[in-house]
Amino acid sequence: MYSVEVRRFQRVVAIGAIGISAACGSGSAAKVQSQQVSGESKNNMEAGKLSVARAGSAAPSNAVNASRVPVVLFFGTSLTAGYGLNPDQAFPALIEERARAEGTPIKAVNAGLSGETTAGALRRIDWVLRTPADLVVIEAGANDALRGLPTSAAKANLEQLVAAVRQRQPQARIALIQMEAPPNYGVSYTGSFRRIYSDVASKEGLPLLPFLLNGVAGIARLNQADGVHPNVTGEKIVADNVWKALRPIVIQLDRVAKSG
């Protein structure tokens, strides 16, 4: 059964899906449907690469051994990038602050890119994985749902993303964030989309983090004008939610780093 937050999120997205999709940098629905790939522009892709390059440059190639601080790579969409916010207000940066305050410091790398579908993420993942990481947190699929792309394709892309991480960085842990679909395409699609995350997590043996926007979705005072992207206050709640789920993993990584 869907939570109140999920239903609120679905209602808001249903009303403003076209505007939200444009804000995220997507192309026309017809183009996306025919190509079944993401609608991000070349400029957005290059901006995303530059963001990761800058974040990754702070850590040497042997980051963990040199600093003894685990590197957590957040790979996702505009919701990870912190659309409409300063980089230090996005939830990955807030989680880095929270982890440090609790005595389990991490280096958070924000590899979010606005408008990206799972197909686009799959094309980008090899480049992003040039940054060494101890934990890769995958937030993907929301833009697939906005476009009504086949859930079978999204599921296959998520599985290939996991495979790419394991091939390029076999030592890295992987976590998957649950995302939800708007009701525009019917109950069957919404349910099918929701299930792909638990299916992938179960098949791949991954921890499945709760819906990213729990406690924030559909609440106007916690979101920007588009009703979907959290504002500064909402982002703090997102960070708290994600940190609660990630904290046990980070504690394990911290112990390994200190013992190594």
Give pLDDT tens digits for 107-121: 999 999 999 999 999
Residue 153: per-residue pLDDT = 98
Residue range 211-225: average pLDDT? Answer: 96
**Chain-wide mean pLDDT for the chain?**
82
Lowest-confidence region among 18-27, 48-57, 98-107: 18-27
Is the pLDDT higher at 68 or at 105?
105
Residue 166: per-residue pLDDT = 98
229 included as an active-site residue: yes
78 included as an active-site residue: yes
Catalytic residue among 3, 199, 226, 240: 226
Is the pLDDT higher at 33 or at 227?
227
What long-range pairs does 228-234 form, CB within 8 A, spacing at least 24? 228/9, 228/12, 228/13, 228/16, 228/20, 229/23, 229/78, 229/79, 229/83, 229/84, 230/79, 231/84, 231/85, 232/85, 232/89
- Domain covering 4-259 assigned CATH 3.40.50.1110 in the classification: yes
Catalytic residue among 21, 26, 51, 78: 78
pLDDT band at 30 (very low <50, low <70, confident <90, very high): very low
Residue range 167-195: average pLDDT? Answer: 95
Specify the pTM: 0.80
Q: Where are the domains of the chain?
A: 4-259
CA torsion angle 195 196 200 203 (round to 10) = 60
Nearby residues of 188 by Cβ (< 8 Å), 6 or more positions away: none
3 included as an active-site residue: no
Share of the chain above pLDDT 70, in %: 74
